[in-house]
Structure formats: C-alpha cells, structure tokens
Amino acid sequence: MGQLVLGIETSCDETAAAVVSGGRVVASNVIASQAGLHRRYGGVVPELASRRHLESILPVVDRALHEAGTGLAALDGIAVTYGPGLAGALLVGVSVAKSLCLATGCPLIGVNHLEGHLYANFLGSGPEPSFPAVCLVVSGGHTDLVYVEDHGRLILEGMTRDDAAGEVFDKLARAMGLGYPGGPLIDALSREGDAYAVPLPRSYLEPGTFDFSFSGLKTACLLHLEKGGRTRQELADLAASFQRAVADVLVTRTVALCRAREVRRVLVAGGVAANTLLRSELARAGAAGGWELFIPSLEYCTDNAAMIASCGAYARRRGVSHGLHLNAMANLPLGRSGCDE
C-alpha cells in the first residue's frame, strides 16, 4: 500500500473524511450530507452547518479509518481544507485535524478547497493527469479558470465577477419552486425541455478577459418567471435554455484559455462538473480541439474528502507540511494554497 493520507473536509455543508493511498487509490470516502437540514431554507445556513459539523466530524473520521482498515498510527499525513468556505465550518475541520496531528505527531497539510477539487481528477484507476493544463473549477461558490503549470503551481486566469454558476443554479431552482440543491433538479428537468425555447443572454465580457459573469443571466431568468410561464413544460424549457446558456459560456471561455496558453489538456472540477450538458459539451469541444479531457466521476464532483487527501498526498511528495499555527481562512484565493507554504 502506498502513502496513506487522511483527508478532512468541512468547508460548507458536507462533513467528510477519507483515506487515500498513493494519492490515487480511495480506501474510504465517508460523507455526512446536510442537504436535508438546509433544504427547508433553500440554501445553507452557516450557523446550522457549523453545529452539524461538530456533531458529525468525529464519527465520520472514525468510520473513514475503519472502512480503510487502518488507524491513526499508520497515516503518513493528515490533510484538511482550511479555506475558502464558511469560517465556522472550516474551523471544525481544521481544529480536529490539528488535534489529531498534535496527538500522533502526524504531518499536517493545509489544502485550498478549490485546489482540492482539481485532484478529484486523480482519483481512480484511469490515466493520471499531467501538466501543464487548463482547469475549469465550477461550483456553488466559485467559477474559475486556472492555468496549472505543475503540482502546487497554479495561476488564476479568470473568475466570476458576480454570481458563481452553481449559485445561479440554486437561486433559479428556488425561484422555480424546485427545491435544493438546485443543480441536479434543473439538470433533470431540462431533459424535458427545449434548450432554445427561451432567448437568454450570454455574457462574454470584454475581449481578452477570461472572467465570467452570470448575474445578467440570472436576472433574465427571474424576469421570465415573473411574466408567467409556470406549467411544467414551460419550466422545463426555461431549465434547458438556462443550462444551455451556462454551458455555452463555460465551454467558450475554456476553449479560449486553451488556445491562449497553447495547451491540449483540460481538467474539470467542482459540483457543476456533474452537469450532464456541460460534460457532453466539453467532451464535444475536446474532441474537436484534440484535447485530453479529464472529468471526475460523479461521486467526486461535489465536496468530498478523498480529493483533499489526494491533494495532500501530492503535497507531501514535495515535502510540504504545516505547523499547528494553521488557521481557517474563509476567503482564500485559488492561486494561494496551503500546499505551497
């Protein structure tokens, strides 16, 4: 068995722990979801998320170690998300990781949550991604385009200037009365609709930028709903048209950065990477452009600790570790990572 790393993830509303061997083989991956807790509010309530993390974290870590058939003494490192995310939620995971490292002497590795998403592409038995590459990170809180020179060397090339793509999925689903989380619900409903039935804007911003903007698209969808159109078919048409608009912008910007950086390798990460249209459109663009495309399996698209453990394992190979001074950072740019400090 290769180097064993325990990963801990509590950046938002998933309490997760996993053990990964050699940065790629998932020995266990345990997730305690809070979706049912927050569904009644239509989104994550930070204080409730923190309290649930406190209740769940130790049982989740114990289960991850048990399912992996290992113990703390056998670990080569403990990796933990320390930002970005909800401050109170992050503090739970960071505090537990630091306590375990203090008790065992195990190296502590702080992981940027967004960089962790990138390493979802390294999990499993498929080909191991290599660099340089372009990475599209698209989730409920972030929509970023990153040029990855090598492990631990990331350049943030573009980001959303307002709403993240996943955030708009959730807000639109709530306005449509579908529920929470919105991404899977809109994806499912869109299969019944016409993606060109509702004319919606695509914001590509000024020439030369790789940034995103989805606030105009969100407003256009909400205005469309205010005008009526609440039958199931009309909602399905809106869902399909909205999803098409998001995918068009994401794919176009990703292709543009590949051309600008002259790379033919693309990694996709984040919860919206589970979207069926986005996956198919990226595959189509990749085939046309001759890319090597990596998209995680669905179980690793959303928040999980296996990706954090993988990122931590590759960081340990570079000799990275952190002292017990490591603290939670709610606002942590993707270009800055605990794996580089």
Q: What angle do CA 205, 208, 211 make, to 5 degrees?
A: 50
What pLDDT score does 1 carry? 52
Q: Please, what's the b/e burial string for 53-78 (b: 16 or more CB within 10 A of its CB; e: otherwise)?
A: bbebbeebbeebbeebebeeeebebb
Contacts of 322 (CB under 8 A, 6+ apart): 108, 109, 110, 338, 341
What pLDDT score does 40 carry? 82
What pLDDT score does 38 carry? 83
Tell me how many helices (H) and strands (E) the chain has. 10, 10
* pLDDT score of 341 more than 50: no
What pLDDT score does 333 carry? 80
Q: Which CATH architecture best describes the domain 131-296? A: 2-Layer Sandwich (3.30)
* pLDDT score of 3 more than 50: yes
Render pLDDT for 72-115 as a digit per residue (tens, 0 to 9): 999 999 999 999 999 999 999 999 999 999 999 999 999 999 99
What pLDDT score does 335 carry? 61
* Helical packing angle, 165-176 and 232-261, nearest 10°: 180
Cα 331 → chain centroid: 15
* pLDDT score of 337 more than 70: no
What's the CA gap between 131 and 119, in Å, rounded?
Answer: 12
Where, residue-wise, is CATH 3.30.420.40 in the chain? 4-121+300-340, 131-296
**What is 4-121+300-340's CATH number?**
3.30.420.40
What pLDDT score does 339 carry? 45
What pLDDT score does 45 carry? 86
Q: Are 195 and 243 in contact (CB under 8 A)?
A: yes
Query: Model confidence at 338, in pLDDT bands (50, 70, 90)?
Result: very low
Percent above pLDDT 90 for the chain? 82
Q: Are 165 and 187 in contact (CB under 8 A)?
A: no
- Name the strand (E) or helix (H) holding 21: strand 14-21
* pLDDT score of 185 more than 50: yes
What pLDDT score does 229 carry? 75
Instruction: State if pTM tops 0.95.
Output: no
Q: Please, what's the b/e burial string for 242-280 (b: 16 or more CB within 10 A of its CB; e: otherwise)?
A: bbbbbbbbbbebbbbbbeebebbbbbbbbbbbbbebbbe
Q: Which of 68, 52, 66 is nearest to 14 (CA)?
A: 52
Q: How far is CA 151 from CA 130, 168, 172, 199, 332, in A?
A: 9, 31, 36, 41, 18
- Side-chain half-sphere exposure of 211, counting CA atoms within 13 A: 11
Q: Are 105 and 73 in contact (CB under 8 A)?
A: no
Query: Model confidence at 336, in pLDDT bands (50, 70, 90)?
Result: low
Query: Model confidence at 340, in pLDDT bands (50, 70, 90)?
Result: very low
